[in-house]
Amino acid sequence: MLDEAIDDWGTARLTLNRPERHNAFNAELIAALAEAFTRLGGANEVRAIVLAGAGKSFSAGADLDWMRAAAGWTEAENQADAMGLSNMLAAINDCPKPVIVVAHGHVTGGGVGLVACADMAVAIDGAQFRLSEVRLGLTPATISPFVLARIGAAARRWFLTAEAFTATDAAAMGLVNEVAIDADAAQAMVAHWLTHIGQAAPGAVADAKALALDFADAVITEELREETARRIAARRVSAEGRMGIMAFLNKGKPGWIVE
């Protein structure tokens, strides 16, 4: 259902492995993703996490059997179930490690939510994205905070029409960073990002990600400026900060660099 491997470099590779269901979500897959991202996010040996899908699609959203069961639940039961999905997305979005997504094939509903939670995403040409919920009498409510944070007002069209859009469209609105012509090109882009991540201090990367999450769209106040000053001061006196500055001044290499 969710395959996991960690290489010597420190890259954790997670693969959605329900190809017969186009990697659609059910409660078990949602729980497995939440557990994996929480655990790997706290693992010192992990430098980055790459999420991809097996088979013809990245993720076709909600599993039909899961949706059929939910139709018979109470509103309270459905809210509790939806919070499980929300918690999983938050575990990915807030993960202190860099998260890279490789999207291909069908990327529907919650699959779009997974992409939106990534720090970097590459889509393989031919991928078809769709926020299809309104065609089922539903809304993309649970994934909406993450999708809106990624693409802003552009979401209004796709939320309301549920029309399909291409990898090129996804790149134009900022849902993905790059479009690759094929799977090999997508992996080359992932390798490019990992190479740069390997030059950066792991703790600084986590703190830099927190800056992007904490201060996005924030009003620039004196309190905000004081907080940013506090954070850089803490970095300067940290072990990584001291090592990095000394290595730079002495034209050496800090110990975190992965060759």
Distance, CA of 207 to CA of 28 (rounded, Å): 31
Q: What is the pLDDT of residue 65?
A: 83
Q: What is the pLDDT of residue 62?
A: 86
The set of residues, in sequence order, having a beta carbon less than 8 Å from that of 17 and lying 6+ positions away, is 1, 2, 3, 23, 54
pLDDT tens column, 203-221: 999 999 999 999 999 999 9
DSSP type of residue 73: S
Distance, CA of 182 to CA of 259 (rounded, Å): 26
Q: Which 3 state secondary structure label does DSSP give 12?
A: strand
**Residue 129: is its pLDDT beyond 80?**
yes
Q: Which 3 state secondary structure label does DSSP give 24?
A: coil
pLDDT tens column, 141-152: 999 999 999 999
> pLDDT grade, residue 258 (50/70/90)?
confident
**Residue 233: is its pLDDT beyond 90?**
yes
Q: Which of 50, 56, 49, 47 is nearest to 17 (CA)?
A: 56
pLDDT tens column, 142-187: 999 999 999 999 999 999 999 999 999 999 999 999 999 999 999 9
pLDDT tens column, 32-58: 999 999 999 999 999 999 999 999 999
Q: Which 3 state secondary structure label does DSSP give 99?
A: strand
pLDDT tens column, 73-86: 999 999 999 999 99
pLDDT tens column, 67-119: 888 888 999 999 999 999 999 999 999 999 999 999 999 999 999 999 999 99
